[in-house]
Amino acid sequence: MATLADRRAVGRNEPDSEVLSRAMDARDSVFYVMMHRKDDRVSSCGTSFAIKKRLDGRCVLCTAEHAINFKDSTDKIIVRRMLYGEHPRVEDLEARLLLSNKRADLALLEVLTPTPSVEPLTFAPISFVPKDGTTIAVGYCSPEDAAGPPRAPSVSPGKLLSKPKDTVNIGARATVSCVAVHGMSGSPVISKYGVMGVLIRGVVDEASRTVRTTTVCSETLGLVLAKWLGLPLIHTKSLKEMIAMI
């Protein structure tokens, strides 16, 4: 992941105003996620975002599998969100693991406490996004040398550098120029049409000062969900319909 200095040096994109507005609105649906081991040590962290809200107000979140690295039943997953208003504060909530797919590097969590004010984000096919089209990652910057965990998510603008490439056994991944700081794994990558992917890895080339950040495409989440839900290899369910079945 890039350092904050890298972020300042290369993150000077002029994003599409419509995409920026969508990304700013998405911050209310983005959670910081922390994995607590049985000794209460935080072993890993990342970003997650709401993709479904149940009738009772409990949310289902999507994140990168390596951001939680779930080991056993003694692990406790805590998600944090920023509450704005007259007296801003953070709220920590416990979540449970629903789905974990190491190959695709995707995981789904369920927040155990209702959060009725949170609106789920919607996915859009990456095919809708033209090459060099604006993409914005929304996540929690948590540098390893930071004094403490972040309180609110940041936006990291960039562009779609390459169309999806299918990699054997792990699904389709694309490359964007959004700078990724430690803590942003699992961030939604926003396009004009919705969430096009989930951020999993970022690299800055020191010589050329270029950024290449890997995202798991929304289509890959569809493949993971179809297998988890037990759907036949050939089916007609859309990603939206499969999320409704969770």
35-72: pLDDT as tens digits = 876 666 666 789 999 999 999 999 999 999 998 877 77
Proportion of the chain above pLDDT 70, given as a percent: 84
Q: pLDDT tens, 9-24?
A: 444 557 889 999 999 9
φ/ψ of residue 36, rounded to 5: -100, 125
Burial class (CB in 10 A: 0-12, 13-18, 19+), 246: middle
CA 238/CA 164 separation, integer angstroms: 19
Q: What is the average per-residue pLDDT within 146-173?
A: 79
Write out the two tokens for 180: 């990724």
Does position 140 have pLDDT exceeding 60, yes or no? yes
Q: What length does the chain have? A: 246
CATH of 4-26+122-223, one of 2.30.30.100, 2.40.10.10, 3.40.50.920, 3.40.640.10: 2.40.10.10
Q: In terms of pLDDT, which residue wins out, 89 or 237?
A: 237
Q: What is the mean pLDDT of residues 96-112?
A: 95
Q: Is residue 150 classed as helix, strand or coil in its secondary structure? A: coil
Q: Where do you find CATH 2.40.10.10 in the chain?
A: 4-26+122-223, 29-111
Residues 217/194, Cβ–Cβ less than 8 Å: no
- Average pLDDT on 152-163 reads 91
The dotted CATH code for 29-111 is: 2.40.10.10
Local confidence band at 208 (pLDDT 50, 70, 90 cut-offs): low
pLDDT on residue 41: 63
Phi, psi of 195 (to 5 degrees): -75, 120
Rounded to whole angstroms, what are the CA distances from 183 to 6, 116, 168, 224?
15, 25, 27, 23
